[in-house]
Amino acid sequence: MSKLMAQVTRLGKMEYTAQELAAILGVTIRSSHRILLQWLDAELVEIVGIEKISGKGRSRQMYRLSFVDEWRN
């Protein structure tokens, strides 16, 4: 969690894909999806959009880290 908070503080970015979170947290993409599902259930994140991929492949969901807003205040 401290890696994620450091990244948010440094860049000020609040919206991430599961792939970006996996890279930040040092886990697999599958693990980041599991974490995000748990955070969705706990209402710590919300889905805010879809990132289109050029060429082949599925679109990626964008997640907003709403718990960071509460942490900052």
Q: What is the DSSP letter of 42?
A: T
pTM for this predicted structure: 0.78
Write down the residue that tokens 């450091």 correspond to. Answer: 6
Tens of pLDDT, residues 4-18: 777 777 887 888 999
Choose the CATH number for 2-72 among 3.40.605.10, 1.10.3720.10, 3.30.160.20, 1.10.10.10.
Answer: 1.10.10.10
Structure confidence at residue 14 (pLDDT): 86
Nearest to 63 by CA among 32, 23, 31: 32
